[in-house]
């Protein structure tokens, strides 16, 4: 939780100085005399600058004096620099930018993925600032991604549920390697937030399907994150809020070729719970300790980056037992997580590039659940096994070590062939009520992929992936292909096809390892029109599930299903000054037969219609931003499966749909200065209107009683102050993002 707040430090704004300002203005064109709008013009080593408008003009004021370098840049053109001397008189500086034809004109494959960041040809949909300032998201990457098409509004368990896929069918990768435990450990009927902060990453790819052959073991979706290379400058930060305190340091060397840093945060929600009452009885209030550190060093032709994070948390909660009004269910969790990531990116010359990565993580969950009487004393009912099974102890270790190597070779123009492999060592050990299960897996994969630019208007991505798991003793080969065709200025059509495999979950392999991979085949077509200020996107997809895990009558791979739908996305950053908004809509038709489902049914985590409206407005005169997010989804299905002894199978004993999901989130940030520290004051609230949120239902053993699954409080309120010494990004936040 502390991590979710440190990221807001990157949007701190500057405070006016006492010196007079000088106006710098001009016009930006290309070498053919054509107007260039959306170009960024900045004074190097400062945050002063502007963006060229629709007529190519730019203008800004600065307090600086002396000799400076003025830089103009925009995607698709070579950057231009001019040395200027700032005195008292206004300056007029014009630029003529040279087009980088190969990068600008070449179409890029976009089917199934949303990209964001500073990649040369990325389709910028969400930046780190977007994640910070999305109303009600509380700077959580997953919460913000849920406002994009394809993602479902699931609030009772962590994860990204994408296009009819369960949460565990979406995987996260950092600098190329898999993250084994990207969320805090699960708590019954309470979704947990992600462990990582948005400001760690310069690039984000949210793939709703058809992702690269470089990645695997994600049946439905991949969230691919690329960490930043270097901080802009040294800084010290501190934060205090209604739920946490924290502090950190980032130190950049004088030659800007290396940096190191660390952060620590402490979260305790006891004071907050005294004010905002919860429906859950917490006998151990959630408490978190988090710490992370990083080191980065530039090499001759690349960079080496190391990142580590450690987290410890515990909590305990008590609820009424659904099978008996005289009993309670007490749940206690203690978690330790340690994650490490080391990567090395290097240019080898002659068109060759190398990307090496290794990561290792340890996750330990100690869980105890008790059936208790009204005096909070544990009780046992051996004659009622479904009731007595409430009592258990689980000691679970999840360890993952991996290494990955990718080599790129430019073959012609900007066409590239890449190939490589990876190895995972998986160690999972769980002890449940004294019974121990140990799973060790040596997982290997080889992959190859080519980005082929046939003309500037036609491109293809062709690849394949081979995988082998020693635990289930099975191998697979997954072909993938994507095509893109430019239909006009800023517009294109893309197609994608791919086969994706995923191992059964640890909880399923406990019962038997005589299982195979689950399989999904993706078909995608999309149309996108995008420029600096507008994005329009429409995409249709069909996904076929095969070999899903069934738990009845035995564990096997006889499950199946499908998902199909259409999605829309529109973003406008220009029509209204200082107003940025986007709208997303998803229609989903999906059914699956898996686990103990008696037939193909719409899964209980999917809604037929989902929509989001995100609005952000910044008022420079008062240095304040207001952000709203409204999310809507039609009701999700719920079921009670009753076992019929006579027929020897499960039947649907009860079913229905929840009420529609309506959630309005709000946040505001006031930018100021406290003594010598740049500061941002933040206030946010989820479910501002107090809508009744029902995520599903829990049933008693006999199905006679059901209880709605709801948040422990209708709304979550947050107030925080974030201080930073050494970094001021006011111009970056205002000019480049609004």
> Are 93 and 115 contained in the same domain?
no
CA atoms of 569 and 664, how far apart (whole Å): 19
- Give the pLDDT mean for 295-319: 96
Element (H, E) at 358: strand 352-372
> Are 164 and 17 contained in the same domain?
no
> Are 79 and 207 contained in the same domain?
no
| Least trusted range by pLDDT, from 135-144, 253-262, 716-725 | 135-144
Contact 95, 80 (CB under 8 A): yes
**pLDDT band with cut points at 50, 70 and 90 for residue 577:** confident
**Per-residue model confidence as pLDDT tens digits over 170-190:** 999 999 999 999 999 999 999
CA atoms of 31 and 98, how far apart (whole Å): 6
CA atoms of 536 and 606, how far apart (whole Å): 25
**Per-residue model confidence as pLDDT tens digits over 579-590:** 989 999 999 999
Q: Which of 45, 73, 99 is the last residue of a domain?
A: 99
What CATH number is given to the structural domain containing 65? 2.60.40.10
> Are 137 and 83 contained in the same domain?
no
**pLDDT band with cut points at 50, 70 and 90 for residue 578:** confident
pLDDT of residue 102: 55
Q: Which of 79, 99, 119 is the last residue of a domain?
A: 99
- Asked if residue 124 has pLDDT above 60, the reply is no
Output the CA–CA distances (angstroms, integers) from residue 654 to 604, 637, 645, 660, 705, in the order listed. 13, 11, 17, 19, 11
> Are 196 and 227 contained in the same domain?
yes
| Least trusted range by pLDDT, from 140-149, 683-692, 711-720 | 140-149
pLDDT of residue 330: 97
- Answer with the residue of higher pLDDT: 276 or 646: 276
- Give the pLDDT mean for 444-470: 92
pLDDT of residue 104: 45
- Asked if residue 315 has pLDDT above 90, the reply is yes
Count how many domains the chain has. 2
Domain residues for 53?
Answer: 4-99
- Asked if residue 106 has pLDDT above 70, the reply is no
Query: Both tokens of residue 434?
Result: 């004294």
Contact 136, 667 (CB under 8 A): yes
For the chain, what is the mean pLDDT? 88
pLDDT of residue 115: 47
Name residue, tokens 């006011």.
Answer: 730
pLDDT of residue 292: 94
pLDDT of residue 145: 87
What CATH number is given to the structural domain containing 600? 2.40.170.20
> Are 424 and 456 contained in the same domain?
yes
- Give DSSP secondary structure letters for 188-249: TTBPPPBSS-GGGEEEEEEESS---TT--S-SSEEEEEEE-S--SS-EEEEEEESSEEEEEE
Q: Which of 99, 134, 155 is the last residue of a domain?
A: 99
> Are 38 and 60 contained in the same domain?
yes
Output the CA–CA distances (angstroms, integers) from residue 457 to 418, 449, 483, 493, in the order listed. 22, 20, 11, 10
pLDDT of residue 118: 38
> Are 50 and 133 contained in the same domain?
no
pLDDT of residue 143: 84
> Are 119 and 54 contained in the same domain?
no
> Are 576 and 460 contained in the same domain?
yes
CA atoms of 372 and 576, how far apart (whole Å): 58
> Are 706 and 627 contained in the same domain?
yes
**Per-residue model confidence as pLDDT tens digits over 391-442:** 999 999 999 999 999 999 999 878 899 999 999 999 999 999 999 999 999 9
Query: Residues 6 or more apart from 260 whose CB is under 8 A from it?
Result: 250, 251, 293, 294, 295, 296
Element (H, E) at 388: helix 385-388
Q: Across 55-69, 467-481, 620-634, which has the greatest mean pLDDT?
A: 467-481
> Are 509 and 620 contained in the same domain?
yes
């Amino acid at each position: 939780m502390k991590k979710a707040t440190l990221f807001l430090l990157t949007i701190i704004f500057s405070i006016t100085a006492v010196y007079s300002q000088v106006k710098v203005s001009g016009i930006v064109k290309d070498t053919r005399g054509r107007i260039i709008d959306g170009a960024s013009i900045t004074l190097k080593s400062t945050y002063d600058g502007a963006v060229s408008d629709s007529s190519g003009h730019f203008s800004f004021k600065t307090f600086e004096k002396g000799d400076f370098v003025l830089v103009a840049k925009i995607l698709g053109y070579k950057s231009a620099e001019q040395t200027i001397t700032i005195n008292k008189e206004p300056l007029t500086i014009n630029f003529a930018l040279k087009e980088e034809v190969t990068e600008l004109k070449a179409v890029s494959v976009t089917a199934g993925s949303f990209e964001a960041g500073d990649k040369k040809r990325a389709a910028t949909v969400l930046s780190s600032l977007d994640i910070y300032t999305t109303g009600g998201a509380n700077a959580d990457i997953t919460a913000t991604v849920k406002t994009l098409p394809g993602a479902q509004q699931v609030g009772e368990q962590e994860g990204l549920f994408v296009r009819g896929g369960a949460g565990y069918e979406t995987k996260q990768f950092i600098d190329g390697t898999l993250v084994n435990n990207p969320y805090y450990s699960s708590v019954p009927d309470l979704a947990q937030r992600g462990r990582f902060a948005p400001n760690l990453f310069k690039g984000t790819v949210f793939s709703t399907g058809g992702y690269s052959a470089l990645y695997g073991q994600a049946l439905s979706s991949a969230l691919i994150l690329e960490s930043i290379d270097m901080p802009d400058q040294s800084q010290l930060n501190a934060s205090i809020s209604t739920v946490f305190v924290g502090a950190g340091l980032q130190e950049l060397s004088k030659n800007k070729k290396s940096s190191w840093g660390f952060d620590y945060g402490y979260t305790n929600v006891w004071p907050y719970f005294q004010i905002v009452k919860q429906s859950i009885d917490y006998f151990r209030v959630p408490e978190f300790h988090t710490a992370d550190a990083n080191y980065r060093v530039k090499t001759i032709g690349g960079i080496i980056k190391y990142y580590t994070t450690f987290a410890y948390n515990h909590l305990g909660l008590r609820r009424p037992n659904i099978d008996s009004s005289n009993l309670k269910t007490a749940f206690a969790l203690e978690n330790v997580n340690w994650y490490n990531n080391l990567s090395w990116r290097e240019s080898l010359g002659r068109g060759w590039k190398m990307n090496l990565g290794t990561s290792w993580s340890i996750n330990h969950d100690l869980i105890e659940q008790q059936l208790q009487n009204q005096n909070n004393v544990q009780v046992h009912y051996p004659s009622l096994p479904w009731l007595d099974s409430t009592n258990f102890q689980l000691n679970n270790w999840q360890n993952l070590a991996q290494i990955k190597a990718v080599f790129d070779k430019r073959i012609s123009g900007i066409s590239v062939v890449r190939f490589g492999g990876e190895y995972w060592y998986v160690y999972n050990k769980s002890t449940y009520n004294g019974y121990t299960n140990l799973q060790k897996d040596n997982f290997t994969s080889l992959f190859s992929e080519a980005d082929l630019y046939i003309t500037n208007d036609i491109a293809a991505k062709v690849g394949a992936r081979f995988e082998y798991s020693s635990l289930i003793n099975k191998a697979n080969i997954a072909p993938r292909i994507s095509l893109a065709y430019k239909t006009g200025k800023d517009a294109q059509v893309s197609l994608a096809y791919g086969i994706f495999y995923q191992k059964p979950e640890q909880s399923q392999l406990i019962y038997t390892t005589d299982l195979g991979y689950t399989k999904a085949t993706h078909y995608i077509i999309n149309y996108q029109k995008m420029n600096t200020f507008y994005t329009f996107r429409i995409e249709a997809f069909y996904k076929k599930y095969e070999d899903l895990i069934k738990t009845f009558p035995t564990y096997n791979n006889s499950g199946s299903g499908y998902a199909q739908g259409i999605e829309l996305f529109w973003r406008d950053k220009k029509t209204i000054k200082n107003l940025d908004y986007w709208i997303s809509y998803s229609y989903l038709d999906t059914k699956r037969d898996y686990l103990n489902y008696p037939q193909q049914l719409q899964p209980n985590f999917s809604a037929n219609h989902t929509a989001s409206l995100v609005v952000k407005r910044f008022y420079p005169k008062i240095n304040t931003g207001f952000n709203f997010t409204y999310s809507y989804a039609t009701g999700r299905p719920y079921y009670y499966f009753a076992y019929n002894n006579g027929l020897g199978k499960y039947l649907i004993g009860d079913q229905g749909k929840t009420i529609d999901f309506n959630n309005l989130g709000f946040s505001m940030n006031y930018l100021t200065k406290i003594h010598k520290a740049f500061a941002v004051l933040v206030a946010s609230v989820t479910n501002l209107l107090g809508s009744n949120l029902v995520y599903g239902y829990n049933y008693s053993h006999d199905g006679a009683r059901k209880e709605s699954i709801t948040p422990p409080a209708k709304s979550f309120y947050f107030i925080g102050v974030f201080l930073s010494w050494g970094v001021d990004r006011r111009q970056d936040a205002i000019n480049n993002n609004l």
